[in-house]
Amino acid sequence: MITHHLLAGDILKACDIRGVVDKNLTVTDARFIARAFASALFKRGKSSCVIGYDGRHSSAGFCDAAAEGLAQSGIDVTIVGLVPTPAVYFALTQLGADAGVIVTASHNPAEYNGFKFFTAEGPFHGADIQALGAACKRGDFVSGHGSRKNIDIVPAYIQYLHRFLELPFARTLHTVWDPGNGAVAALLAPFLERLPGKQSVICGEVNGDFPVHHPDPSLKKNMEPLRRAVLKRGADLGIAFDGDGDRLGLVDGAGYVFQGDQLMVLFARELLRSHPGATVMSEVKASSFFYEDVAAHGGKSLMWKVGHTHQKEKMQRDRILLAGETSGHIFFAQNRGYDDALFSAVKLLNILAHSERSAAQIRERFPVMHDSGEIRIPADSRQRARLVAEIAARLRQEGREFVDIDGIRTACNDGFWMMRGSNTQPHITIRCEARSKDGLHSCLADLRRQLASAGVDLESAGYYAEA
């Protein structure tokens, strides 16, 4: 009998576990990861866990192996099947379970898979994730005879979402929906049944190959099929989801693709109408416009770390009512702080269906910000840490002020540039923004100089995810 198991160290991320299937993440790994998680739960006095999986080809098998590992360690397991991540969050509360697991690699390419973990108290991340690897290596497992059962959580989850619709709508909307062949496609039809107005769907079948586009709505190229569909059909808006349904994307009726921080402006303005002076949180990549707009509407803004677990933890600790990231993770305290893109879609429909202005008309009043989009430089974990540390040290020597809660964010001309190591993929993420084209060019030039001093040529080492 195997008493211990060695995991590949590079699959243990800041917020979850992710790897390439059958390369550095296998079904055997899944079973032992689950046993290590069960041991962690046992030490916390917990005995029940909900588990679901996304639409990747390997996900059902990984789920079965993980459920087996949990049960072998004495955890009572409830399997909720192929569902988006937020449906597992919902099931945790609805069923009164102690913890939850979703088999998913979110927006990563099709060859990836992984696991997100959480407990009834909040996120399970950072040192918790690293401890799973250490527990596997030591063979720190408990044994027991947990039960296994299957439950269809979808009807209750859809009913829960529908409760937040502010009906009747003041005006009807034609919405095009794009689940990106991801997990949301598994339940989109029943979700749309009660919605007023006209509904159209593209990429509406679960397909782990993601044949039309990559399921990441934070990149404009992935939003192009939805943008074309909105314009062709004369729709009012288009709503997109990532692979596991915890991130939202928006296209307005003029074909403009909103960034996540622009979406947050819509949600923050709505919140501040009913909660004057409330704190609204985002992260280090977010536009200066977002932070200024919160203040202009009577709120307080807070900049924090990137990553859904970091945002949730800070939100819970500081009792923040609304938070969100540029990637499209939106967190409502009204929804227990979960990043649920279908819940966010309901809130967005409520805003637009009761507004005198369309999404495009609201957006047209936003200030013009000149933005590089995300620039991504391939780098392993050591390279990421070295690059950020070296440039931070140089900025200190130059007497430059910068925010270092998560990488580096520094003012430059009439804008800023930022850089940080990705939590989920092997690259450095960079963003530059300014109020003028000259300002953006100045920010990019400053960034190029800093990178060159660290031995990195921006154009040859990286690529522009957005132009």
Give per-residue burial for 131-156: e unless 16+ CB within 10 Å, then b: bbbebbeeebbbeeebeeeeeebbee
Give the amino acid at 113.
N
Q: Return the DSSP state at 463.
A: E
- Terminal Cα distance for the chain, rounded: 54
| 116 closest CA partner among 83, 141, 150, 138 | 83
Asked if 437 contacts 405 with a C-beta cutoff of 8 angstroms, the reply is no
Q: Which of 39, 73, 106, 372 is catalytic?
A: 106
Q: Is 372 a catalytic residue?
A: no
Rounded Cα distance, 76 and 208, in Å:
29
Q: Which parts of 184-311 are beta strand (E)? A: 198-201, 237-241, 248-252, 279-283, 300-304
| 345 closest CA partner among 250, 441, 449, 448 | 250
Q: Which residue is associated with the tokens 């994307």?
A: 249
Instruction: Using CA atoms of 95, 267, 200, 230 in order, give the dihedral in degrees to the nearest 10.
Output: -150
Catalytic residues: 106
